[in-house]
Amino acid sequence: MKSIVYALIGLTLYAVQNVIIDVKLKQYSTMGLLVGFYLVMLPVGLGVIFYQKYTGQSLSIPSGNAMGIVAAVALMFFIADFFYIGAYTSGGSAVPITILAALVPVVCALLKFLWVKEVPTRFHLAGFACALLAIVFIALGNAQKKVEVKSDDSTLIAATE
């Protein structure tokens, strides 16, 4: 149950971040935003590590081959962040970008099935089909409505998703 609560909190915060980037930050460069985010995250992460050590909580830091894997994943995070934030700074908006991001669980499950050489059950396949249909229907629905966004100077900007 704890993992579900953590995932829900994380997903909610990701949704809030997407809206903030879309409404308030998309006029800045991708690299400018990434550097700003990482400059804030580094001291926060170090602070949490020091807090865990201070309170005697266990802290398992990868080493050896695992640290190489961590480095590879960190590089993938950076590249993924670059393209994801770039989707906003190149003119995208939260609705279509997050609709595409909703495919992440499907892609993740498919990759894991391939990696561990498992065959998806018929329920997995049905879930994949339903996820794809949900995304298609949401995208079609948003393509047919005009979105009005208030800018900072309180004028309305009409756009079609």
Distance CA(101)–CA(88), nearest Å, equals: 13
Distance CA(94)–CA(108), nearest Å, equals: 21
Strand, helix or coil for residue 151? coil
pLDDT at 34: 96
pLDDT at 161: 42
Distance CA(88)–CA(68), nearest Å, equals: 31
Angle between helix 2-20 and helix 94-101 axes, rounded to 10 deg: 150
Distance CA(127)–CA(40), nearest Å, equals: 37
Extents of the domains making up the chain: 1-87, 102-161
Q: Give per-residue pLDDT as tens, 102-129.
A: 788 888 888 999 999 999 999 999 988 9
Q: pTM (2 decimals)?
A: 0.75
List the chain residues with pLDDT less than 50: 155, 160-161
